[in-house]
Structure 1
Amino acid sequence: MKNLIYIFTALLIFSFNSADAQIKKVLWEEFTNASCAPCASNNPALKAYMDSKGDSIIGIKYHTNFPGFDPMYNSNPTQVEQRRGGYYSDVNAVPWLKGDGNVFPDIWPFSQANFDQAFNTRKVIVPPMQIVVFDVRGPGDSITSTVQILLTQSLPPGNYKLRVMAVEKFVQYPTPPGNNGESNFPHVFRKGLPDMTGITIPTNVGIYTYYYRYKRESEWVDSNIVTVAFVQNDGATNKEVLNASLTGDLIPVGIGNISTIAPEKYSLNQNYPNPFNPSTSIKFSLPKAGDVKLAVYNSLGKEVATLVNEKLISGEYEVEFSAGNLASGVYFYTIETGDFKETKKMILMK
């Protein structure tokens, strides 16, 4: 199920005039191992902190071959080593956590204070770009990813690389695969696309679109696979990650970016088309910024999809809901923000 926000080119161009539309996502890369005792004792704190920040932190976890056996390393040892020993040559122990490249080269120990410093310092930055990632499941075992970079200001001299990776949001084993007792592993690195080198991006203001197609390996759980994209300055000593994104991230483009007039009131529109198969669009308006949740429920009241769950600026939004994995029937979608709550009905007819 994919959740996409439609952003028209004209709106994107206008949005370059407003820093409010610029959202910084912080990239944390951890090197870990399923047979590492310190990993088992420290990873719960890391997971709890990352979970508390929602999608403000994008995680990638590379499983290494030391100190012991790890099947997630064995599934792609070459690319893991290219990232660990080739690109980040200082990683000689696990767990090892990096924040936005080598801006924070070794976040250790795993403490609230260290996490806060690495996150808060980076989150307040207004990035020079936004990145949007769309995934489409093709016939058979293919995934096609569209990565769009919205460069809002020219970049200073550097060597800027777009890197794209397949990440499994959650890998669960019935029993621990290593000897440290861990059996649940979030943000597992699966594959660099098409490799770990990345591609050089332009430095001038503009909208740049890239396409990737990759195979879903049999050991991956398809519903857990997302595509992560980030831009990193290989020419900087700190290998700074300027911004990052993953499948389903929403880039808000408010009406304020093309007019000084914001929506006068909250609204949730009827989806269109309705009935639908397999996708439909939902529009809503926000007169002011706030935490927004837009979710879909079945006729029994069970939540089946979360389309939006983050802080958005004021504006008008359009989100696509794809229900390819759901059965035909009546569904309800509800928006909650501040004191405003509204529910509408839609019909999936296959």
Structure 2
Amino acid sequence: MYANSVVAIVVLSLFAVATSSMAAQRIVLGELFTNTSCGPCRPANLKLDTLAIEHSATLALIRYHTWWPSSADPFYQANIIENTARTNYYDPGYVPYFWIDGSPAGASHSYWDGMITNRESVPSLFEIHLDGSMGGDTGRLKAKIIITQAIPWPALVVRCVVTESNIYWPAPNQMLWHHQTMRDMVPGPSGTPITTQPGDTVEMSWYFTVDPAWVWDNCETVLFLQKDEEREVLQSAKLAAPAFAQRPATVHIDPDSVNIHLGSDFCYTATVTTHTGTQQCFYGIADVTLPNGNSYPGNPVAGPTYICVSPHQTKAIHICHTVPFNAPTGTYIYTVKIGTPPDDLIDEESTEFTVSFW
């Protein structure tokens, strides 16, 4: 073992659901800190390759590469900032070092199988459901996090990671194939804070760009819910690249401001991009969700508008709405959708804005 000598658009909505008396099957998160010049890292990685197969349904893996014993590790060099941030978060004293749901499992890989099995048997109070789609080189991961029972920790952090497997590179430590290599933390290593209450469902979305150097079909997105105080991971989920649906077009909304006074305008730019070799035609509409969680009775507030966009082109439009003086104050959710009603939804994106008196 070697001693250590030494960032999307997030949409968050909460709405009440019936509280379940049943806990969820736990998906265990394994995080390995490794280096391609570390001799003992080779058997540890090979063991983890086996465990990834044996626990494929209940284990999500991420492998971070450190700057010791050699900062020339190409997987460390590919993302220095986020590899460094995650290494500093756990502060392993040496590599290899394995963490299971945020708890130290060390370098003795002969014990990892039993530790993973034990952790899998502990139900989670959270369910995580993932859905992904691709538009060109832009991926979107959508998550629905369901709190199945009352929880004692309302403030948590959600982290989203893109990994890549089946990378062939003859390493100094004789490793040839590298798997679950951390490529990107979206939107960054600090994750996205959320505040939850019993019975809540949290819906979130992340956008990320696929680097041309990656083989997307070998990639996977891993999502996990963590308590930063103790570093415990409460639940995880994973979605492989082939499960991402292909979108012929995508929509993005960029608000001028998200802090709006009564009587003033909420304005934004909606940008539609096509990702195919043919012209795409569809309708665009916009809906508003009120601060109390109900849909605005006057929906849609924009559209339906028929739009045609040429192959691999972008079309943008600037839209404004005046917020009435008698509108309720609080946080609104504004959602733009493109597709062909009633069932063909191509893409959608939401943003929050807050209405206040002053």
* TM-score, length basis structure 2: 0.60
| TM-superposition CA deviations, 1:84-123 (whole Å, max 9, x none) | 01x112x131111001002xx1333110xx1233212211
For 2:233 and 2:215, locate their aligned partners in 1 and report how far apart those are by CA, in whole Å: 28
For 2:153 and 2:37, locate their aligned partners in 1 and report how far apart those are by CA, in whole Å: 42
Aligned to 1:137: 134
Gaps of 5+ in 1: 1-11, 250-276, 280-350
For 2:216 and 2:156, locate their aligned partners in 1 and report how far apart those are by CA, in whole Å: 30
For 1:61 and 1:157, locate their aligned partners in 2 and report how far apart those are by CA, in whole Å: 27
Kept after mapping to 1: 8 A contact 2:22/2:148: no
- Partner of 2:106: helix, strand, or coil? coil
Q: Where do 1:278-317 residues align within 5 Å?
A: none
| Counterpart pick for 1:57 among 39, 44, 59 | 59
| Counterpart pick for 1:246 among 233, 238, 246 | 238
Aligned to 2:102: 101
Kept after mapping to 2: 8 A contact 1:29/1:62: yes
> RMSD of the TM alignment (CA)?
2.5
For 1:65 and 1:181, locate their aligned partners in 2 and report how far apart those are by CA, in whole Å: 18
Taking a change above 3 Å as real, the CA distance of residues 220 and 248 of structure 1, as seen in their structure-2 partners, is: closer
| TM-superposition CA deviations, 1:223-282 (whole Å, max 9, x none) | 11221100001122xx11000001159xxxxxxxxxxxxxxxxxxxxxxxxxxx989xxx
Aligned to 1:235: 229
Kept after mapping to 2: 8 A contact 1:163/1:196: yes
Kept after mapping to 1: 8 A contact 2:135/2:246: no
- Partner of 2:175: helix, strand, or coil? coil
TM superposition outliers: structure 1 runs of 4+ over 4 Å: none
For 2:28 and 2:94, locate their aligned partners in 1 and report how far apart those are by CA, in whole Å: 23
Kept after mapping to 2: 8 A contact 1:154/1:203: no
Aligned to 1:123: 120
Residue 147 of structure 2 aligns to which amino acid in structure 1? L
User: Going by fraction, where is helix more abundant, 1 or 2?
Assistant: 1
For 1:44 and 1:157, locate their aligned partners in 2 and report how far apart those are by CA, in whole Å: 36
Aligned to 1:70: 73
* TM-score, length basis structure 1: 0.61
Give the paired residue count. Answer: 229
Aligned to 1:225: 219
Residue 109 of structure 1 aligns to which amino acid in structure 2? S
The structure with the largest alpha-carbon Rg is 2
Shift of 1:45: 1.9
- Partner of 1:55: helix, strand, or coil? coil
Aligned to 1:184: 177
Shift of 1:18: 5.1
Q: Where do 1:159-170 residues align within 5 Å?
A: 159-170=155-166
1:210 counterpart = 2:207: no
For 1:208 and 1:130, locate their aligned partners in 2 and report how far apart those are by CA, in whole Å: 10
Shift of 1:13: 4.8
For 1:220 and 1:198, locate their aligned partners in 2 and report how far apart those are by CA, in whole Å: 22
| TM-superposition CA deviations, 1:274-304 (whole Å, max 9, x none) | xxx989xxxxxxxxxxxxxxxxxxxxxxxxx
For 1:278 and 1:64, locate their aligned partners in 2 and report how far apart those are by CA, in whole Å: 34
Gaps of 5+ in 2: 1-15, 248-358
